[in-house]
Amino acid sequence: GNAGLRINEAGLDIIREAEGLSLTAYAAGGRSYIGYGHQQEPGDPMQITLEEAEALLREDVRATEDGVRLRLARPANENQFSAMVSLAFNIGTGAFGSSTVLRSFNAGDIPAAADAFLLFNKANGEIYDHLIGRRERERALFLAPVD
């Protein structure tokens, strides 16, 4: 079963690197963010510590972990789960739910699931280098053997 699975440090590192860290609130797309891309609510602090940024990241990832877990039809290992959570955290659990990654994984086709990560390299119809890099890291984690 997948009940006890949580994202591992390798998965969190992919998210940390992709989101970047800002201990001061910043605006993007009409919204305010802080830490590792945590969306601010009005009245939230404009400055946080690294410890607070880490806590917000784990809190934000928890809903994605639940969303991924709910959609898995077969057991995942820690690396597979962590890579899928990193992907779903970026594209949304809804998009993950209809993805070839999930469909292939649930069908037991691990190589096809791994390769399907690489499809998610676009934003607004354009291919982005940072997304290519992130997907390659997620794919490598997904395929990495668990000790």
**What positions carry a catalytic annotation?**
19
Residue 128: name the closest of 17, 35, 12, 18 by CA: 18
User: Would you give the distance in Å from CA 29 to the centre of its chain?
Assistant: 20
Asked whether the beta carbons of 86 and 79 are under 8 A apart, the reply is no
- Return d(Cα 143, Cα 147) in angstroms, integer: 13
Residue 68: name the closest of 88, 52, 50, 90 by CA: 88
